[in-house]
Amino acid sequence: MFRTLVAIVIAVMLLMTYGGAVQAAPDRPLRIVALGDSLTAGYGLPQSAAFPVVLERALKTRGHNVEIVNAGVSGDTAAGGLERLDWSVPDGADGVILELGANDMLRGLDPAATRRALDAIVTRLKARGIPVLLAGMYASHNLGPDYVQRFDAIYRDLAAEHGLVLYPFFLEGVVGQRQLNLPDGLHLTAKGVETIVERILPSVESFLARASASRS
């Protein structure tokens, strides 16, 4: 129920932000939707410290005219993201940062199902002319070598198949770093979010160039 309420709130906020289809204009910000789970939503943090907000701030500091919309829902799986895709990414979006799959892995879901859901998300966004930056995830080694191999290949394979900008591991640089994670060991501190933004920034800047070209 909580997840559903959060998703509804996000949908309303997105509709208020976009107000339906928007004509591309050179002076309006690039509108990028961050579609993800709790790592995107900013679980346990004030909204000012959530990944989309910190990323937008960093990009603006570097001179980019951009707006990053937080469409993260805590607990979401890849299938959950697919279910809410059409209203989480409304008309007027110039690109999507896709960060899903961590909860699939933590629940030990079949990597084939995760792959299908992520592939469907990317395929539907491409059909709408919306480019995607794919933020990857690695499986925990305690799930066994077969699971790790199958899961880790998802993002690499989808990026190659669809020609996506790929950031291989969203949690690069923060895993196992106590000061960068909340006490649950799964979610990020504000400093952890800043570390991720610092590391992903070059990939996002490359993606912005693609998104800008796509809308012109």
Catalytic residue set = 38, 184, 187
Q: How many CB atoms lie within 10 A of CB 3?
A: 12
User: Largest alpha-carbon pair distance within the chain?
Assistant: 50
Q: Which amino acid is at 166?
A: L
Q: Using the CB atoms, write b or e for 140-153: b if 16+ within 10 Å.
A: eeeeeeebbebbbe
**Element (DSSP H or E) covering residue 88:** helix 85-88
Q: How many CB atoms lie within 10 A of CB 47?
A: 10
3-class DSSP assignment, residue 73 = coil
d(CA 215, CA 31): 11
In the sheet with 30-36, reading across from the earlier edge strand, the strands are 66-72, 30-36, 95-99, 132-135, 165-167
DSSP state letters, 106-137: HTT--HHHHHHHHHHHHHHHHHTT--EEEE--
Q: Which of 153, 42, 55 is closest to 101 using CA atoms?
A: 153
